[in-house]
Structure 1
Amino acid sequence: MKGTLLITGVGQRIGWHLAGHLQAQGYQIIGTYRTRRDSLKRLEDQGVILIRCDFNQAEQVDALIADVQQRAPMLRGIIHNASDWLPDGSADQAVSRLHAMMQVHVAVPYQLNLAFEEQLLASDTTADIIHITDYVAEKGSRKHIAYAASKAALANMTLSFAQRLAPRVKVNSIAPALILFNDQDTEEYKVKARAKSLMNKEAGVAEMLQSVEYILNSGYITGRTLAVDGGRHLV
């Protein structure tokens, strides 16, 4: 076995694919989810260990930490994939939305990185922390200011933890743009979204799987952000 990886937010989309793919690659995956979905049964059948955890509930985060520490005295890595995407809303909603975004994208990853520092440093090979950020961390967003700010904070945390944990733990970010459309997305929206990048297409989940594997297989890269955006910054 290649070691144990903790992946947050494996209930659907990229997190679900990452958990199944890396489990098949020989890692033992511990995955967190907030909402029980039928798709999780497939991960369980593969041997993925699933732990329900709502990051907005402090007692559940504490329970997650205790559970993982008991199960895994050594961690090969943590992939912070759990995410929420809320518009800022009205003036009355905006501050609460900011707190919600910061909790999921900053406070809990910060807490988990500190809580599992001993387990990461105990890994028998170089360990990894990977923060899944977003293209908007650099560009900003008119309608999702809180979301963009929280992802920018997560990206900045990459720099600090890379310094703190080197050389035993590499800490990097992956900043995707358009990876997968949602089922409810209209064709009009898809055309508009694809046109925002030079590649003019939906990347597909394989791009994220390859990006994660690239970082995990590197023995040298740390404190960096890997952009998976199809050249969107040049449009």
Structure 2
Amino acid sequence: MSASPILITGGAQRLGRHCAERLLDDGHELIISYRRERSELETLRERGVTTLAADFSSEAGILDFIERLKATTSSLRAIVHNASDWAPDSLDSDAGATFERLFRVHMQAPYLINLHCRELLTACTEPQRDIVHITDYVVHKGSKKHAAYAATKAGLDNLTLSFAAMYAPEIQVNAIAPALIMLNEGDDEAYIEKVKAKSAMQMIPGPGVIYQSLRYLLDNRYVTGITLPVDGGRHLR
């Protein structure tokens, strides 16, 4: 536990929300960013979570978030960059705008937050401070339908190396690269079986495996500059 809060971007749903709830259970103070208001946020607020609206689709929105974050806290124990946009490629006139949005969410927002919030991390009096980037399994495989998504997540993966070298030894910077962890509403049995067959473990594990991975990074003082794959052994297929 730490007196300095942990920031999770995109912490209102799915993996981000699960990690937020588990960190709360472990006694940590939390700040989360969210893109739009949703009912789950009120439950988190009732548990003491500070919630900050954030628009990471523009540089101005990113810088505005950083300014409000600094007005909210004087230190951070960790930053978990979980905010993401799973937008498919298209051939229409919006293709360039889609790529730009994904670049800003997956790369520019973490880049600027890491740069501008270094002082918040170094102000933490705990012996360990962390930055964790949530990337994706497709970084090393590519994607036929989500090329812009894969490319910008690959950029985030590379930022892990740069910031790890830049901020050592005071701040550890690592990444977690999940494959499919959770199902969406409406996923049918045929899709589920197809997805299971892609990994050696042949399962859809649920969000707990991401929290286990995050917990490992937050608890280990001798790990920096690595990407931890959580993909069920897809490379074995």
Same fold (TM over 0.5): yes
Choose the corresponding residue for 1:145, options 144, 147, 159.
Answer: 147
| Counterpart-to-counterpart distance in 1, 2:219 and 2:84 | 25
TM-score of the aligned structures, taking structure 2 as reference length: 0.96
Specify the SS of the correspondent of 1:39.
Answer: helix
Separation in 2, partners of 1:204, 1:84 = 19
Give the SS at the match of 1:129.
strand
Deviates more, 1:211-220 or 1:54-63: 54-63
Task: Give, in angstroms, the shift of residue 61 of structure 1.
Answer: 2.4
SS at match of 1:123: coil
2:129 corresponds to which of 111, 127, 130: 127
Q: Aligned AA for 1:66? A: E
Which amino acid is the alignment partner of residue 14 of structure 1?
L
Which whole-Å CA distance do the structure 1 matches of 2:61 and 2:88 have between them?
25
Q: How does 1:1-235 map to 2 (within 5 A)?
A: 1-2=1-2, 3-90=4-91, 92-124=93-125, 125-235=127-237
**Structure 1 segments unaligned to the other structure (5+ residues):** none
Amino acid at match of 1:36: E
CA contact (8 A) 1:20 1:46 kept: no
SS, match of residue 15 in structure 1: helix
Rounded Cα–Cα distance in structure 1 between residues aligned with 2:31 and 2:149 = 26
- CA deviations on 1:131-168 (whole Å, 9 max, x unpaired) are 00000001100110000000000000000000000001
Amino acid at match of 2:41: L
Comparing 185-194 with 217-226, which one deviates more in the overlay?
Answer: 185-194
Percent of aligned positions that are identical: 45
Secondary structure class of the residue paired with 2:79: strand
1:60-107 superposed Cα distances (whole Å, 9 cap, x missing partner): 322321222122211111000000011111153332221111110000
Q: In 2, distance between residues paired with 1:106 and 1:46? A: 30
Post-superposition Cα deviations, 1:173-208, rounded to whole Å, max 9, x if no partner, equal 000001000012122111111110001110111101
After TM superposition, the runs of 4+ consecutive aligned structure 1 residues lying more than 4 A away are none
Counterpart CA distance in 2 for 1:14 and 1:204 is 9
Q: How many residues align?
A: 235
Cα separation, 1, equivalents of 2:120 and 2:23: 19
Contact kept in structure 2, 1:32 and 1:50, CA below 8 Å: yes
* Aligned partner letter, 1:74: S
Q: Secondary structure of 1:155's partner? A: helix
Report the residue type matching 1:161 in the other structure: F
- What is the RMSD of the two structures over their aligned residues, measured on CA atoms? 1.2
Tell me which amino acid in the other structure corresponds to 1:107. Answer: Q
